[in-house]
Amino acid sequence: MNILVLAAGYGNRMDDLTKNIPKPMLKINQKMLIDYAIEIAQKISHQRIFVNTHYQNQILESYIKENYLDILISHEPNILGTGGAIKKIQNDDLLILNTDNLWQETFVNEIKESINFFNENENVENLLLVNSNSEIFDLDMKNKNIINFPSINHNTRFQGCHLIRNKSLNHYPDIFNIQDYWINCSIEGKLYGYETFSVNPHVGTKELYLKNQ
């Protein structure tokens, strides 16, 4: 299994905080958001770890090359969307982590458990790690943990981490949003949720980022 850390976005929701620096290099508790994600990724059994880049890519890539010798850069001259970013490097099953969450150490074991579930259930094409004890919900998870997407009713929350089966995006364009795939995957009954309990605060907006300082 490979791992992809998503770090290419413009960080528009951070407003002026990302005017001169990529969002993944913003710090909380004296540690960059990209470090939280990579350190979690390194604790998961993997073949390769990728980080995709676009906005302010030279700054981010220099930092990664200096501090993480084993990380592979997937540079996007034109931003591909999350779906396109996954498709570009997908030649194996893939674990995806974003840099909008403040990843907790306790989440590592839950990721490992979700990988075991994913490997044992070939009918699951995309497995979203969710938390149904959250104060805010954004997804609808039905019986047997099938995700209904788009979600009209909300009873769980996406944790910003998911697993996707190799070759599942072969027939999609090179530039697209992963939500387009989720719609089709849900229709086919192959989009599932995996319940987790660690609280990984979402810090993807300026308000939330400053709140967690």
Max CA pair span of the chain:
46
Q: What is the pLDDT of residues 72-89, one digit of tens each?
A: 999 999 999 999 999 999
Confidence band for 135, pLDDT divided at 50, 70 and 90: confident
Confidence band for 213, pLDDT divided at 50, 70 and 90: confident
Task: Please give the model's pTM, rounded to 2 decimal places.
Answer: 0.96
CA distance 117 to 97: 18
C-beta of residue 164 within 8 angstroms of C-beta of residue 126: yes
CA distance 156 to 137: 5
Crossing angle for the helix pair 107-120 and 33-42, nearest 10 degrees? 50
Crossing angle for the helix pair 81-89 and 178-187, nearest 10 degrees? 80
Confidence band for 197, pLDDT divided at 50, 70 and 90: very high
The alpha-helical segments, DSSP class H, found in 105-165 are: 107-120
Within the chain, how many helices (H) and strands (E) appear? 6, 11
User: Who's near 66: CB < 8 A, 6+ residues apart?
Assistant: none
Q: What is the pLDDT of residues 43-52, one digit of tens each?
A: 999 999 999 9
Q: What is the pLDDT of residues 57-74, one digit of tens each?
A: 999 999 999 999 999 999
Q: What is the pLDDT of residue 50?
A: 98
